[in-house]
Amino acid sequence: MISNQTTQEVRTRASIVEVVSDYVTLRKAGQSYSGLCPFHSEKTPSFTVSEEKGVFYCFGCQAGGDVFKFLMLYDGLTFPESIERLAERYGIAIEVSQSGGGRRGDLFRLNEQASEVFHALLLDPSQGSRARAYLKRRGVEESLWQRFRLGFAPRGDVLAGRFRREGVALGAAAEAGLVADKGAGNYRDRFFDRIIFPIAEPGGKITGFGGRVIDDGKPKYLNSPETPLFHKGAQVYGLKQARDGIRSQDRVVVVEGYLDVLALAQFDVTHAVATLGTALTADHLRLLGRYTRNVTALFDGDAPGRNAAARSFEVFQQAGLWGHAAFLPEGSDPDTFVRTQGKAALDRVLEGAVPIVDFYLDWLRARHGTDLGGKSRLANEVSRMLAKVTHPLDRELLARRSADLLGIREESLRRHAAPSGTEAPTGARGGERGAAGRWSLGEDRAESALVALMLRFPSVVQRLRREPMDKLVTEKWREVIRRILAGPEPGGEVAVGVLTEGLPAEFASEISALVWRGQEIAEDERDRMTADCLFFLQRRYLRQLEQELRRAIRVAEETRDDEVKKERMRQWQEVIERERRLERARPGL
């Protein structure tokens, strides 16, 4: 694990303007710099960088953070990888703590060595001839062999033998998933007689491999096992190659297999990735959501494919995305379809993609029918789904769409599904506009909105010093808010560097972004927005207290402890009255 001392030295010495300028053309604008945002398409610059504050922020897509966060977003790096990248650039020696985090670097290097071996074997005139013939039969152009670093693993424990000769610890190679430990010091290659597809992070580091047999062997496809680097349900194939295409088109197409991605790339579909032959997961979508909110999943048009599309709606919701579903003709896959029908036909399929929520609701209606019993089952199914949606705005939209398409009263769906305590802190009562409305996105947003307010307005800090904030905020935000409240004297400003010192790195980046988000809040919105956030947090606290007292009352009833029950009932009634008073005094009512 990289030491805190190294992290702080890199943070201090790295110039965010220099680093961002490698990717974005920046122009001086007052005390800051501006340019076109690299994270979404725009014609008018809304992307701002402050050397003084050490942060960037986009007023268009709300991406923001420090220099580490920029590299994490742009190149898909992990936090340690962003430190390594900057340390190398600024000539800073990396100190590693005693927790052994440097192991990941060793495994990445082994994967890189293995990829070089596999690629060289594919191109070897003798050993790679069968593999090259297979790729040519499948129509994969040679340019793609290089672009995607395709390889070949022949029989004969090539990797294990090479690692032995070079003195590489085979236990480490087994940890990386490259060889298998058969016991008694006997290590064998995991991949043999297969075309090899390196699976890389967006920044290019190889996490694992996929392999396809070139004859009739089983299994047809084999992936690396779960390792410290490779997690099949959270990684996609081709993201490194598709990243720029996804950004430029602000969309991504998700297919299932390696050869599907290669075929689409060959036909100039440069924004496609694959799920390594598995069903789509929320982790897949969260990864893709870093680059675009517009995700189209491409399914077979047969019954299993349509069932898979319907099931994926819940996965999209878990990831906070809506998404679209496109369907190929029954029995087709992207590889054969684009090769036989051409790109124009594929474009028509993609243009015909339907919102996944509409497909899901139509699928439910076809499955349950529209008679009285069917509508009852429909309502139960939609209510079940609504109850899982934690994002208030998403729940609102899903309830409305379900009511429209299924002919079920919206109020009925809400009554059976809405989780308690999830009302948005601002902008949820009558469609308020402006900066405050953009914070109405869920429980965590109340705390983040208050932090932005405190960083923007010292007067809010003074007001909140009179509130029992430790009781009202979640553990995630408690220490941050304590530091702000303990910070400047009246009229002073909070130093962001001091505020984030020693905090988890990704959380520190999140707080840095709030500096810019706070600038969006107009002074005439300050008091109402602060009151809204406090109302939300106070009500949440009282409801949690009420639930605890109800549980205590049930325990007292079970143990027949009348005195305790009487006292807990009294406390419960007090909490209910406090909640009623809070509701009556609610801001804006």
Q: Which two tokens stand for residue 442?
A: 């869920």
Is residue 360 in a domain? no
> Model confidence over 450-491: pLDDT tens digits?
998 988 888 898 899 999 999 998 888 888 899 888 875 544
The predicted model gives 66-71 an average pLDDT of 88
pLDDT at 519 over 80: no
pLDDT value for 488: 57
pLDDT at 295 over 90: yes
Q: Which two tokens stand for residue 363?
A: 């699928």
* Residue 275 shares a structural domain with residue 177: no
Instruction: Return the CATH number at 68.
Output: 3.90.580.10
* Residue 346 shares a structural domain with residue 433: no
H/E stretch holding 100 reads none
Residue 300 banded pLDDT, cuts 50, 70, 90 = very high
* Residue 150 shares a structural domain with residue 203: yes
pLDDT value for 96: 65
Contact 335, 389 (CB under 8 A): no
pLDDT value for 210: 96
* Residue 135 shares a structural domain with residue 112: yes
pLDDT at 432 over 80: no
SS3 490: coil
* Residue 204 shares a structural domain with residue 246: no
Residue 250 banded pLDDT, cuts 50, 70, 90 = confident
pTM above threshold 0.75? no
Which residues, 6+ apart, have CB-to-CB distance to 68 below 8 Å? 11, 79, 82, 83, 86, 505, 509
Is residue 95 in a domain? no
The predicted model gives 516-530 an average pLDDT of 83
Is residue 575 in a domain? yes
H/E stretch holding 214 reads none
Is residue 364 in a domain? no
Mean pLDDT for all residues in the chain: 84
Is residue 359 in a domain? no
> Model confidence over 500-518: pLDDT tens digits?
776 765 677 678 778 877 7
pLDDT at 377 over 70: yes
> Is pLDDT larger for residue 465 or for residue 416?
465
Residue 393 banded pLDDT, cuts 50, 70, 90 = low
* Residue 212 shares a structural domain with residue 283: no
Instruction: Return the CATH number at 112.
Output: 3.90.980.10
Contact 146, 197 (CB under 8 A): no
The predicted model gives 394-403 an average pLDDT of 74
> Model confidence over 173-187: pLDDT tens digits?
999 999 998 887 789
> Is pLDDT larger for residue 124 or for residue 452?
124
pLDDT at 589 over 60: no
| Residue 407, Cβ density class (10 Å: 0-12 exposed, 13-18 middle, ≥19 buried) | exposed
pLDDT at 254 over 60: yes
Is residue 96 in a domain? no
The predicted model gives 83-106 an average pLDDT of 76
Residue 126 banded pLDDT, cuts 50, 70, 90 = very high
Is residue 361 in a domain? no
pLDDT value for 417: 57
The predicted model gives 272-296 an average pLDDT of 90
* Residue 314 shares a structural domain with residue 413: no
> Which residues constitute the domain of residue 310?
239-352
Which residues, 6+ apart, have CB-to-CB distance to 59 below 8 Å? 46, 47, 48, 516, 520
Q: How many residues are given for the chain? A: 589
> Is pLDDT larger for residue 379 or for residue 204?
204
> Is pLDDT larger for residue 489 or for residue 166?
166
Cis peptide before 219 (omega within 30 of 0): yes
What percent of the chain stands above pLDDT 70? 87
pLDDT value for 585: 76
Which residues, 6+ apart, have CB-to-CB distance to 454 below 8 Å? 460, 461, 464, 481, 484, 494
Please tell me the least confidently modeled range out of 222-231, 392-401, 524-533: 392-401
Which residues, 6+ apart, have CB-to-CB distance to 183 below 8 Å? none
Distances (CA, A) of 286 to 59, 281, 283, 316, 469: 22, 9, 5, 9, 31
* Residue 328 shares a structural domain with residue 347: yes
The residue type of 429 is: R
Total domains present in the chain: 5
pLDDT value for 424: 39
* Residue 210 shares a structural domain with residue 249: no
The greatest distance separating any two alpha carbons of the chain, rounded to the nearest whole angstrom, comes to 88
Q: How far apart are the first and last CA of the chain?
A: 52
pLDDT at 194 over 90: yes
* Residue 509 shares a structural domain with residue 586: yes
Could you tell me where the beta strands, DSSP code E, fall in 40-170?
47-50, 55-58, 64-65, 151-153
CA dihedral 574, 579, 584, 588 (to 10 degrees): 150
pLDDT at 494 over 70: no
pLDDT value for 423: 42
Please tell me the least confidently modeled range out of 98-102, 464-468, 564-568: 98-102
Specify which residues 2 forms β-bridges with: 96
> Model confidence over 437-452: pLDDT tens digits?
444 434 567 888 899 8
Domain end position, chosen among 230, 259, 282: 230
* Residue 316 shares a structural domain with residue 384: no
pLDDT at 390 over 80: no
Domain end position, chosen among 89, 124, 142: 89
Is residue 467 in a domain? yes
* Residue 55 shares a structural domain with residue 136: no
